[in-house]
Amino acid sequence: MSTATQKITGQVAVVTGASKGIGAEIALQLAKAGAQVVVNYSSSKAGADRVVTEITNGGGKAIAVQADLSNPADVKKLFSEAQKAFDHVDILVNNAGIYEFAPLENITPEHFHKQFNLNVLGLLLASQEAAKLFGTRGGSIINISTVNAPWAPPATSVYSATKAAVNAITRSLAQELGPRKIRVNAINPGMVETEGVRAAGIAESDFRTQVETQTPLGRIGQPQDIAPAAVFLASADSGWITGETLYISGGMR
């Protein structure tokens, strides 16, 4: 961490969907590594404010910015506020996302577009705005995907398709933006115990037991298992890594 701290100090990170779960932990760990952080949230202002308070109480700098990443105007607002507060951006963590599961007979256009508009279009628009603010310094884009992209369990066809798209976008943008010194990588977590997973009843479900049985390390993940990898991918320690998808899943693939 000390090496990463030295190399991220003074950089500015935008973390989308950072009011809770994996996004909140990534925001906190980037701040501990020396970054100034824009904590984005869609609806949970209280959660985002808690993350900002924890960062500032630890001597860091952070602001909370409301923006629904499925709304193009909100995406522009997010990066306008980031630029206003910190002048530039060096790191983007595309964490904002939604998951809804449905069998084939229950899939509707609304179900489809709700997930694709946020998980795919929102990610692309955020990357577009961040790339403008990276400038000649380059930067690092870190996309949060999932093991569901290749695993694609039943009733997740739309959600899994959005994350398969994220993996493809990661590879494509890495090639496109590499000449501009912008690196693009993805983290593909396995099941992680977050507020959303608990609220959906998954944390205490038979599905969790099934996943743990199939996981070589025998447990589901915690946000603290994911965040250090984001710090690594944001830092110069990963300076020759781009276009990669890093699986953090306890060995489950």
In a domain, 129, yes or no: yes
Q: What percent of the chain has pLDDT over 70?
A: 96
Instruction: Report pLDDT for 2.
Output: 41
Is residue 225, in this structure, part of any structural domain at all?
yes
* CATH, residue 140: 3.40.50.720
> Does the pLDDT at position 42 exceed 80?
yes
User: Is 171 a member of any domain?
Assistant: yes
| Per-residue pLDDT tens over the stretch 153-172 | 899 999 999 999 999 999 99
- Report, as an integer, the average pLDDT of 54-63: 98
Task: Please answer whether residues 65 and 78 qualify as being in contact, where contact means their C-beta atoms are separated by less than 8 angstroms.
Answer: yes
Report the b/e string of 71-103 with b at 16+ CB within 10 A.
beebbebbbebbbeebeebbbbbbbbbbbbbee
Range of the domain at 150: 2-248
Mean pLDDT of the region 105-133: 98
Among 41, 99, 159, 247, the active-site one is 159
For residue 210, the model assigns a pLDDT of 85
CB neighbourhood size of 223 (10 A): 20
Residue 253 lies in a domain: no
Least confident of 27-36, 77-86, 196-205, 229-238: 196-205
Per-residue pLDDT, averaged over 214-241, amounts to 96
What mean pLDDT is predicted for residues 197-220? 81
pLDDT of residue 5: 47
Residues of the chain with pLDDT > 90, as a percent, come to 83
Mean pLDDT for the chain? 93
Residue 3 has pLDDT above 70, yes or no: no
Number of domains in the chain: 1
Catalytic residue flag (residue 159) = yes
pTM: 0.94
Q: Is the pLDDT of residue 152 over 90?
A: no
Query: Contact at 8 Å (CB) between 207 and 134?
Result: no
- Any domain includes 141: yes
Least confident of 63-72, 78-87, 94-103, 200-209: 200-209
CA distances 92 to 106, 197, 200, 231, Å, are: 34, 24, 28, 11
For the chain, give percent helix, strand, coil, nearest 5.
Answer: 55, 15, 30
